[in-house]
Amino acid sequence: MKKRLLFPTLFAAMAGSALADQVVNIGFSGPLSGGAAFYGKDVQSGIDMAIGELNKAGVTVKGEKVTFKLVALDDRYLPNETATNVKRLTSQGIDIIFVPHSGGILTVQPMTTRDPEFLLVAYSSEPKILEANNPMTFMLPPRYDNYLQPFVSTQMKAFGKKLALVGTTSAYGKQWTEAISGEWKKQGGTVGGNNGVDYNTTVDYSSAVTKALAEKPDVMFIGGPSQPTALVVKAAREQGFKGGFIVMDQAKFEQMDTIVPRAYLDGSVGVLPTKEFAGTQVFVAQYQRLYKKIPTSEAALNYMGMNVLAKAMELAGTTSDAGAIRAKLDAAAKALPQSKSVYKLFGVTANGHVDAEFIVASVKNGKYTRLRLTKTFK
């Protein structure tokens, strides 16, 4: 456990002035350039929005006023660069670091309990993050294996039993591809060859889509960041594909339909847009006013996560003891109003996973139809 004071109170420049706020730096390593840049910036803006509100409202920890500051580094979606960034951030005395991709998260998880310790805020739905049983991880979204059964059963019933694979080839995309293939076969379907491509670097998806459609599938599994995922849909529809899509949870309908017509998304299953959840209207309006774009769960869940962390610091009476902050996450989550948690939030599990309501949906005739309403588990 670190005993050094990482962020001492700053003294005002003028002699005799009162002490200034304690400044607590929050780290971030994510894709801020390349094909996943929009995704990384959505995560960053959610954290930024929460920090702006917290600083305006005022946070007091053990009698001392705290001001938060985000230190964001670009890792280009590359796990080795995530590790480099994390080392740089912890060397600056940063105790809490957000990472929004599974490859980076799984790479740096073993570093969390070394000296210096830090709390890893994981924005990825990869189940392996929880299965690592890491005591210094705080995972925000639901596990993606929650989605497999309803996605597959819905699409197989609606379109047929032949699945084509055109997902992204990131570490996360490969895990999703393996999982959806297994569930598809489990429910009696057949799976074609893997035509996955790197959504972070590919510009033209026509060739991959052509190969997939040569197998004459009923359904296509696609997904990565929203913008390139929409281009895969565009290529498929323009090549005459009339079937359904299973859309990986990283891609968001509300962003995809700003790139392709909503009609192209008909027959898709994915995660219900944040603005369609009950009780999100205030958050959506405030976010759009600040950033002039539609908020997705990237922004919403990281906004929530930052608010939970600030409350946990208050309850723990520390801004630098990552273990003590982690221990107060459940109590902090339960103390937040929905205006700060955005979604219906039940708490944080003992293994550091947010326990919240999630909804999956299909797109039919340009409208979202809810498939299942439940709460996360595992």
Q: What is the mean pLDDT of residues 253-281?
A: 93
Question: How many Cβ atoms are within 10 Å of 260's Cβ, its own excluded?
Answer: 18
Q: Do 196 and 167 touch, CB atoms closer than 8 A?
A: yes
Where residue 15 falls among pLDDT bands split at 50, 70, 90? very low
What is the spatial distance between Cα 191 and Cα 164, in angstroms, rounded to a whole number? 6
Question: How many Cβ atoms are within 10 Å of 355's Cβ, its own excluded?
Answer: 17
DSSP structure class, residue 276: G
Q: Is residue 229 classed as helix, strand or coil in its secondary structure?
A: helix
Which residues, other chains included, contact 302 with Cβ-Cβ below 8 Å and sequence gap of 6+? 43, 44, 46, 47, 50, 98, 100, 121, 123, 140
What is the spatial distance between Cα 332 and Cα 309, in angstroms, rounded to a whole number? 7
Q: What is the pLDDT of residues 45-57, one digit of tens each?
A: 999 999 999 999 9
Q: Is residue 222 classed as helix, strand or coil in its secondary structure?
A: strand
Q: Do 64 and 22 touch, CB atoms closer than 8 A?
A: yes
Res 377 pLDDT > 50 = no
Q: What is the pLDDT of residues 135-193, one digit of tens each?
A: 999 999 999 999 999 999 999 999 999 999 999 999 889 999 999 999 999 999 999 99
Q: What is the mean pLDDT of residues 281-305?
A: 95
Which residues, other chains included, contact 173 with Cβ-Cβ below 8 Å and sequence gap of 6+? 167, 196, 199, 223, 224, 248
